[in-house]
């Protein structure tokens, strides 16, 4: 009997050790992979119809800063655009140099009239986009436009990779924080 008691005690001690060792370890948070393959060459999209620009906003993500340009229409309607790095931002159509903060400048041309085609009156002004404190963005401003185009400048910290894509009625411009 005494042997059974000793055996049971040993099993309980061993079992207690197993139970305390059986607690699963909490997985360490994984690092986000911010590697990008976007590049910094010109990006463009074709459209056969002008779409009115209705809003613009910016956001910060872990690996990039994002600018979103909202237009009328649906995902079935492609948004025409041209986004490229320029050394100097020239206002369209006057060709006046537009100063903009940052180590590099993205010129955004959107196939979107600034004027109502039926009345010839300008559309209401869009709100300013504040990018103070962003990791990559330095300044955003509308700069001009003519003949069905709206032009804007996006000052960024340096000439970094960027991508442009359409989702629903939004044109999205992402600029990476690093190469």
Q: Looking at residue 167, which CATH number applies to its domain?
A: 2.60.40.3500
Within a domain: 78: yes
Give every CB contact of residue 104 below 8 A, 6+ residues apart in sequence: 85, 155, 156, 157, 158, 159, 160
Q: Is pLDDT of 24 > 80?
A: no
Q: What is the pLDDT of residue 135?
A: 97
Q: Is pLDDT of 17 > 50?
A: no
Compute the average pLDDT of residues 39-60. 91
Within a domain: 30: no
Which domain covers residue 80, as residue numbers? 43-176
Residues 12 and 8: their CA atoms lie apart, in Å, by: 6
Q: What is the pLDDT of residue 19?
A: 45
Cβ atoms within 10 A of the Cβ of 31, count?
Answer: 7
Q: Which of 152, 150, 147, 144 is nearest to 173 (CA)?
A: 152
Within a domain: 61: yes
Residues 166 and 150: their CA atoms lie apart, in Å, by: 17
Condensed to tens digits (0 to 9), the pLDDT of residues 74-112 reads 778 889 999 999 999 999 888 899 999 999 999 999 998
How many structural domains is the chain composed of? 1
Q: What is the pLDDT of residue 158?
A: 97
pTM: 0.80
Residues 95 and 72: their CA atoms lie apart, in Å, by: 28
Q: Up-side HSE of residue 154: CA atoms within 13 Å toward CB?
A: 30
């Amino acid at each position: 009997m005494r042997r059974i008691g000793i055996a049971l005690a040993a099993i309980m001690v061993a079992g207690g050790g197993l139970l305390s060792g059986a607690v699963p370890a909490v997985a360490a948070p994984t690092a986000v992979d911010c590697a990008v393959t976007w590049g910094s060459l010109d990006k463009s999209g074709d459209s056969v119809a002008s779409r009115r620009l209705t809003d613009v906003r910016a956001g910060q993500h872990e690996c990039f800063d994002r600018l979103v340009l909202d237009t009328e229409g649906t995902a079935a309607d492609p948004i025409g655009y041209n986004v490229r790095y320029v050394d100097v931002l020239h206002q369209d159509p006057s060709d006046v140099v537009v100063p903009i903060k940052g180590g590099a400048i993205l010129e955004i041309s959107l196939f979107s009239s600034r004027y109502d085609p039926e009345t010839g009156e300008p559309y209401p002004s869009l709100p300013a986009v504040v990018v103070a404190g962003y990791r990559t963005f330095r300044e955003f401003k509308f700069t001009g436009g003519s003949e069905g185009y709206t032009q804007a400048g996006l000052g960024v910290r340096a000439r970094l990779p960027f991508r442009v894509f359409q989702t629903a009625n939004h044109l999205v411009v992402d600029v990476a924080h690093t190469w």
